[in-house]
Structure formats: structure tokens, C-alpha cells
Amino acid sequence: MSSSSQHGATARQIMTLVAALVAVCMVGGALLAGLALPAVTAAGTTVNAGTNIFEEVPSDLGFTEPSEQSVILAADGTEIASFYAENRIVVASDHISQYMKDAVVAIEDRRFYEHNGIDVQGLLGAVLNNVTGGNLAGGSTITQQYVKNALIEEGRIEDDDELIDQATERTLGRKINEARYALAIEKTMTKDEILTGYLNLAQFGTSSYGVEAAAQRYFSKSAADLTVAEAATLAGITQSPARWDPIRHPEDATYRRNVVLGEMLSNGYITQDEYDEAYNTTMEDMLNVSETTNGCAAAGTAAYFCEYVVKAILNDDTWGEDRADRTQRLYRGGLTIQTTLDTAKQASAYQSLTASVPVNDESGTQMAMSSVEPGTGHILAMAQNTNYGTASDSDPTATQINLNVEEAMGGGTGFQSGSTFKVFTLIEWLKQGHTAYETINSSNATFPKSSWNISCSPQSAVDYTPSNIEGIGGGTMTVLESTRQSVNSSFVRMANQLDLCNIADNALSLGVERGDGQDWQYYPSMILGANNVTPLSMAVAVASLADDGNACEPMSYTKITGSDGSVLTEKSSSCRTVLDQEVARETTSVLQQVVQDNATGFRAQVAGRSVAGKTGTANADTDAWFVGYTPQLATAVWQGHMSEQRSMLNTTINGTFYSEVYGGLFPATVFSSYMTQALANEPVETFTAPTRNVLRGVSSQSSNSALRSNTGTGTQSATSDPSTATDSQDSTAADTAEDPSTNAADASDGSDG
């Protein structure tokens, strides 16, 4: 067959198609089911237009729900962050300005309210243009554009490039496909439903999808409030989202807007006065740009909490088919995630941290804080004195690592807890019937391997020689005063009379977690904090004490709802009693004394409030802690270097030189500042006293030495094995030992006070 005869046949076939479509339009689509078309070949592209061309139109003619941004909300409903594959907010018809609807109809499809899905005049012009050698373009009604956008969106949701290519290819086959869907849709949807669907799907600029997101981005208002000029600007963008973008190309966008205004005037949608006012409005005067940040970077000081929430919901198998499905829904499903975050407490947490150690302080030290509600496990605040992001020359401490949580949830390996871990030895001491007024030898000593009871890990027993800081401890002291002054040897001697596995079980059952997720290490140095733990888990643990021994799993969100308002999952507190109520109250009564004058935690006092807590400092002042609680709120504060275990001795922090940095200094001060603000509007509550007075008969042995007392930990400066840890104050034996298993970690301390 000659080339000329091929072109002639194509033209005849196209005209047959046009005639068929005209007939369909005239009868309102009555012939749709039986229409049969021949195979069509155009410009080397073969299109199947056979007898089934109008068959298999889906019964759900809305195609698919468009991708919509999901939002994470604080407890009070404040938006924290949004997530999207396309920045889109789906709105109902009554939330779209009538000017917007009129502008789109005027510029895109003036006969929209007259045709039944296909504009025959427009289609004929497009076909003739193709016959004469031009690109197939034009002639698409709003209904057809809705079809095209819906098919593209379906391809995006399914991650199917073939579907997207089919929806965007410049062929007659694609036009036929659009036509069959358009005719069917017009029989099942009202004009307003179609127009609303189109406005929610269309792209308005390079990063805005749907009219609501576009209105918020360009004009910082809802689509319901768009003016004539604003509506005309947005309506003009969809023809070429990049070219007509008013931010990047204001002059071109102004030209295009005025074209739309002209069509609105000529079609009777606006008056001459409205046209003149809009025409004379400059683009500069119109724009009020609000950029939307995708993801947790928009959450500001709550960015790390936000990331924790995201990881938690993606791990939650109570909703979604699997993790991939949950991820897809997060970025496309229009979810609303209600979290536990208290915005006021979050602001106070960040302010308290950065007031003490500013972001990018010359000391290079970081601080982190987690605050938990006793009785619910709700995480109310989670902050650190770093900027969320990637480290750079201008912002060297920027990081996406959450210093409050474990590696599996976006954190690090945790930090040595120092003498805060003595809390769990105290608990076991009281559980076994001892009291705080009993006396104990606080002198330095070596505790032989054979003296240890470690029932769950006998191989962890080693000779152990802890030491007290110079001038602290020595001789007989009460357990209470040993706690107030945080004397190492006292607590090691107490633990030596107990089973170390029970001490560890106390910590684990109350909620303490290693940051690296590895098995607990049961070496004697554990007593003084050799295991690396997370601030969040320490806050959870003392929250359990605040609630009389009821341990609650930490909760970051309470409910996830779909775009239609359906509840996908709802969470309630998961709590269980892990410690006898009397023992919990006895422990609290002792820990209240730590926050009194002349004790290591005196800076943690909160005026008018009952406070209990414990200071902690790792060897050589590498890590400093304060963990404390009131009946209503529990908080853990950590300070140190996030990237390495480095001493904070002789450090200038926030412009002031400190020869030592310990738990009773910055962490205790930050705790007091935060808790004072966080509880300012809360009623004053007091702890319930235990039935047994474990403080009975205690005489005050307080002295100024308590202000500079020891806590300590088994450090891991040489190896990750706590049994080989050395103490900077007495390292000779450890440094020369050839067999680490025969040398106890010398977990003497840094310094509280």
C-alpha cells in the first residue's frame, strides 16, 4: 500500500470516529455499550479501538481517592507536621470559592454545563489538527481532564509508570479512552461533583496539587476565600504549571491571569467593575506565600518527637496490611495522627535546655530531655539542644539522631547512666525488708568475684574495686545519707548483699532500655550505671515510681483516622503493676531527700512542689544526669557528647568555665526550670507516704560535702565490654591487667553536687 493511500485510510477512519462520537453526544451516550470502532493507525502508533473500546468502564467512576497529605497533631490539635507525595488537601465543593469554579470553567471549558462529557467542537478541532500533522492537543473538557488526572494519580498511587505513560501519551487512543470514561462519568456524577473532583486533582504550580493546597501556598488562605484575581491566577496555572507559576514567573502569570479574567468577563461570570479591579491588582500585592515543608523538618523543636511518632506508627501492625502499606498511607492517605505532645511543655523543655547550653555551644556538649505522664505513659515533651537536619559547617551539631531514644527508633546507643542507676539497688534493698536508716560501711574496698550473687549470669562475676570521690564516704553511713550524697562504696556494698539480677530486673520492669537493643550486661559495674540507657526509658522508669509501681509503655500517639474520618487504630495506655505499692512509696520517700538542701540534687527543687529524684555522673564527667518526678510528671535530663564518650572536665559552657560538670549542676538546674514552667498551671499534689517509715531514726549527717558527691559508672573507654572498663581516678590495675575477666570495672564516679 502506498503512503498516500495509508494517510487517506487514516483520515476516513478518523472521520468515522468523529461521526460516532457526535452521535453519542447527541443521544446522551445511549449507544455507548454497543459502539464498535475499527483499529486505527496514526503516525506509526497502533491503537486498539475495537469492539471493546467502551467496555470495562469501572463501576466506581470516581477512579481512585486522590493522594492527600497526612498531618500529625499535638494533643491540643495544633499541627506539628504534614507528609505527602503530592502536596494536596482534598476539600468539599462548599469549601471552594465560586469565583474559582467560574474561572476554571471560563478558561478551560466554557460549554462545561452544556455538554455530556465531550465537547464535539473542541474534539473536532483537535482531530483535524492531528490529521493535518499537528500534535494532538486541545479539545479536552474538564470532565476529560478529570479523567486524565485521575488516571495519572492512579498510576502514582500504584507506582506504575505504564499507567502514567498511558494517561499522558499524545495519541488518538488516549483521547478515545478519555472520551469513554468522560461519557460514563457524566451519567453518574453531577457537574459540581466533576468540577470539584477536577479542582482537587489538578496541579497548580510545581509543588501544589489541588486548589486548597495552592490557595494556602500562594495566598495563605483557604480556597473558600479566594478573590476574583486570585481565582483567575490559579485557574490560569493548570495549562502549564511551571510556566505560569506566579512565584517564579510573576509577569507571565499576570499575563495569563488577565486572559482568564477576560474569559470570565465575556462569559458573564464577573462584572466590568470586578474585572477592572482584578486586572489592576499587581501580582506582588496578591501573593502571600506560605511554603509547606514535607515531613518532620516542619515540626521545629518537636522534630525529634515527630520522627519518633513516624517510626512508631509504621511499626504498628494494628492498622495497614504491612509496613509498605502504612508508609503509602502516610504519604498519600490523608491520615490524621493525634499525638500526646503537650505544645506548652515542649516549648518549656526546649527553652530550659538551650538557656543552659545553647545550640552549637562552644563546649560541644549536648543535652536531651524526655518528659512522661505517670499513669498513662504519654510522652508530653521530647527535646534536645540540636537543630534537626544534616550537620554542616554552619551548623555542626545539626543531626537527625534522637538523643532521647534507642537506635531502633532513630536514636543512638544510649549513655552511661551514672548514679541514677542506684535507684534500682535502693528498690531491691527496700524490697528485701531493709530500711534507709540502716547503716552501711561506705569505705573503699575490693569485692572479690566469689562474693557476688548474679543468679542469671554467674559468668559476669569479677573482682570489683570501686572508689569514692576524695573526701566523700568512708566509715559508717546510713543508706539515706549514702543516697543523698550518692556514695559509690555504700551502694556497691548494698548490692553485694543482694542478687544483681534482681536489681537489673527492677530497672527493666520499670521501663529502662539499653539504647543499642543488646542484652543487659550484669557485671558489678552495672550497679553504678555501666549499661548505656536512654533518657526516655529513664523517664518512663521514674514515672512508674510516681504512679506507685505501675509501669506504662511510653505512648507517642493515641489515634489515627483516615481521610473519611474513620478510625484506623486507637491506642490506650498499657500499664501493669511491676512493683509493690509500698516499696514504690518507700523509694520515693528516700529519693525526696536527694532534692533537699545540702544533698546532690538540691538544684532540682521546684518551689512549692514535692519532688523526688536522683543525680548521676559518669566517670571523668563524660555523662551527667538528673532523673526526677512529681506525682504528675516525670522527667529525665542528660548532658554529654553525642558522638563520643568525652570528658566534660575543664569545659567552658555558655561562656562560663567549669572545672567539673556533674548531674547536680546543669541537668538538675534544667529539670527545675522545666518542671517549674510545665507545672505552673497544675494543682499542687503530694506523694502518698508509705505505711512503713523507712526514714525513722535518721539523724542528719548532711554537710557541705554532699554538694560535691559521687555517683559514677563503669566506663567503657577502652572497650564496649563493661568488665574491662577503667576508672580515670584509679586506673593502674585495670590498665595492666591482661585478662579483662579478672579485672572488675572500676566504676568510681564523676561528680554530683
| Angstrom distance (rounded) from CA 94 to CA 111 | 22
| Angstrom distance (rounded) from CA 154 to CA 145 | 14
Cell of 452: 557476688
Residue 239's nearest CA partner among 259, 216, 266, 264 is 259
Cell of 231: 481565582
Cell of 280: 489592576
| Angstrom distance (rounded) from CA 135 to CA 129 | 7
Give the pLDDT score at 473: 79
Contact 538, 627 (CB under 8 A): yes
Residue 475 exposure: Cα atoms within 13 Å on the Cβ side: 5
User: In 3-state terms, what secondary structure has residue 238?
Assistant: coil
Residue entry with cell 546510713: 478
Angle among Cα 444, 507, 602 to the nearest 5 degrees reads 60
User: In 3-state terms, what secondary structure has residue 492?
Assistant: helix
Give the pLDDT score at 520: 95
Q: Are strands 651-653 and 656-658 parallel, antiparallel or unpaired?
A: antiparallel
Q: Find residue 541's DSSP bridge partners.
A: none
Cell of 180: 469513554
Phi, psi values for residue 678, rounded to 5°:
-65, -30
- CA 448 from chain centre, in angstroms, equals 48
User: In 3-state terms, what secondary structure has residue 55?
Assistant: coil
Q: Quote the DSSP letter at residue 518.
A: P
Q: Find residue 636's DSSP bridge partners.
A: 370, 627
Give the pLDDT score at 292: 86
**Read out DSSP for 428-450?**
HHHHTT--TTSEEE-S---B-GG
| Angstrom distance (rounded) from CA 27 to CA 622 | 83
Q: How many CB atoms lie within 10 A of CB 288?
A: 12
Segments of the chain with pLDDT less than 70 = 1-64, 122-139, 470-471, 696-753
| Angstrom distance (rounded) from CA 279 to CA 285 | 12
User: In 3-state terms, what secondary structure has residue 709?
Assistant: strand
Give the pLDDT score at 149: 87
Cell of 145: 481532564
Give the pLDDT score at 449: 97
Residue 682's nearest CA partner among 366, 338, 342, 337 is 342
| Angstrom distance (rounded) from CA 555 to CA 542 | 15
| Angstrom distance (rounded) from CA 271 to CA 228 | 11
Q: Find residue 399's DSSP bridge partners.
A: 388
Q: Find residue 620's DSSP bridge partners.
A: none
Amino acid at 362: E
